[in-house]
Amino acid sequence: MDSEGHVCPVCGQPVATVVRRHKTLGAWVPKWVAGPCRNPGCEAYVVEGAGPEEPSRKEHQHTSTQGD
């Protein structure tokens, strides 16, 4: 892990570190990234309790190309 904390790229205020994950060779691997900015005066401000903007499951579902 980094010894330095994450900062907002817009206002430079410190932000929390959150864990995301991705799959590599069949195993889920953690990735620590900067969380949302909580500075109300910042353009990148995210309201406390608002969920992260992640793609919906429908965007990740694969549809079959075979006919019935």
pLDDT at 55: 45
For residue 34, being part of any structural domain is answered with: yes
Distance CA 52, CA 61 (A): 20
The range of the structural domain enclosing residue 43 comes to 6-50
Count CB atoms within 10 A of the CB of residue 8: 19
pTM of full prediction above 0.95: no
For residue 1, being part of any structural domain is answered with: no
For residue 32, being part of any structural domain is answered with: yes
Instruction: Choose among 34, 38, 1, 39: nearest CA to 18.
Output: 34
Number of domains present in the structure of the chain: 1
Which residues, at least 6 apart from 56, have a Cβ–Cβ distance to it below 8 Å?
A: none
pLDDT at 68: 47
For residue 60, being part of any structural domain is answered with: no
Q: What's the pLDDT tens digit per position in 21-65?
A: 999 999 999 999 888 888 888 888 887 765 555 544 444 444 555
pLDDT at 60: 46
For residue 31, being part of any structural domain is answered with: yes
